[in-house]
Structures are given as structure tokens and as C-alpha cells.
Amino acid sequence: MTKKKIDVRDYAGEIVRAMQPGILLTTKVGDKVNSMTIGWGTLGIIWEKPVFVAYVRQQRYSRQMLDQCREFTINVPLGDYDRKILGICGSKSGRDIDKIEAAGLTLVAPEVIGVPGLKELPLTLECRVLYRQEQESHLFNDEITRKFYTIETGDHICYYGEIVSAYIIED
């Protein structure tokens, strides 16, 4: 497989639009690769670096993995893809199943970090965590608290990932 290098700014619209219905965040610890569906993220510049900010709930298995490896890929569909991928990666826990196998995903060797890309969601951002920030729910306005947070769901942790490589995986 080949990779076409891209300027992430040229694909910002596609990335943001794809967050609904979802994109994948993939991480790796040892030989274990795990992907989770995310619908929230921020693409921008901070500390003079291109970043993707991912929001991961504290109780997620991916959060445990991110805290260990501090690297992730963002995997964005382009064109047609099997929507069951987002369903499996958004409703199952990597603690219980191998989501890569269950979703029929093909791992593609990364360029800079240790976390692979995914052939089926070919627009890939390789990210290295620069900063991790736990959200403080007592600072949210009431509308946000009512709509998105309960004691059961917990707060998010923000991972500011420097985009160290961006490409589209091609056959």
C-alpha cells in the first residue's frame, strides 16, 4: 500500500464533516491495537503546531491505552465504507473483544509513531500527545451538563495530539 502525503489544512472540511456520524481514534500498547468511534474533536494550531484534540471519557479502555502510549491515529473515511465499523468500534469495549478483528479492519504501518493507520478509513493523522487535560464538569454551563454529562458517563479527558504525519492510504 502507498500513502499520499497531504496538508491537513486541505482536508479540514472533510475531517470535521466526518465526525458526524463518526471517525476512529486508534491507539496501541504492546501488540494490542484498539480503535474507538469519536464524534467530538478539534482541528487547529496551538503552540505553533498542527493539532487534533480528542475527547475521551475517563472510563474508556482507549483512555487507559492513551495514557500509556501517548500516541494515536485519527482515521477518517473517504467515500464509501462499511458503516458497521463505526458501530462495532463505538459500542464494544476493547477490554472484551478485539475490535480490529471484529470490524474487519486492515492495519497499515505508520510513518512516524507506533500506532497504525486503517486501510478502510484511509485519511490518517498520526498524532503524538503534547498535553492531557481532565475536564472539570463543575465549570460547564447547565445546558452542557444536562445534555452530555451524568455521574454514569463521567467527564472527558482532552488529548492534544500534535499531527506529526498526515496522509491518505491508497491501494
**What per-residue confidence (pLDDT) applies to 23?**
97
**What pLDDT score was predicted for residue 105?**
98
What is the chain's length?
171
Q: Give the chain's residues under pLDDT 50.
A: none
For the chain, what are the domain ranges? 2-125+140-170
Structure confidence at residue 1 (pLDDT): 84
Q: Which class for 66: exposed (0-12), middle (13-18), buried (19 or more C-beta within 10 A)?
A: buried
CATH number of 2-125+140-170: 2.30.110.10
DSSP per-residue letters across 120-138: TB-EEEEEEEEEEEE--GG
The H or E element that residue 32 is part of is strand 32-38
**For residue 127, which of 60, 65, 75, 57 has the smallest C-alpha distance?**
75
Query: How far is the CA of 31 from the CAs of 107, 115, 116, in angstroms?
Result: 12, 10, 11
CA distances for 25 relative to 76, 124, 144, angstroms: 9, 10, 23
Q: Is 154 left (phi over 0), alpha (psi -120 to 50) or beta?
A: left
d(CA 167, CA 93): 28
**pTM to 2 decimals?**
0.92
Q: What pLDDT score does 122 carry? A: 98
Strand partners, 55: 158
| pLDDT on residue 156 | 81
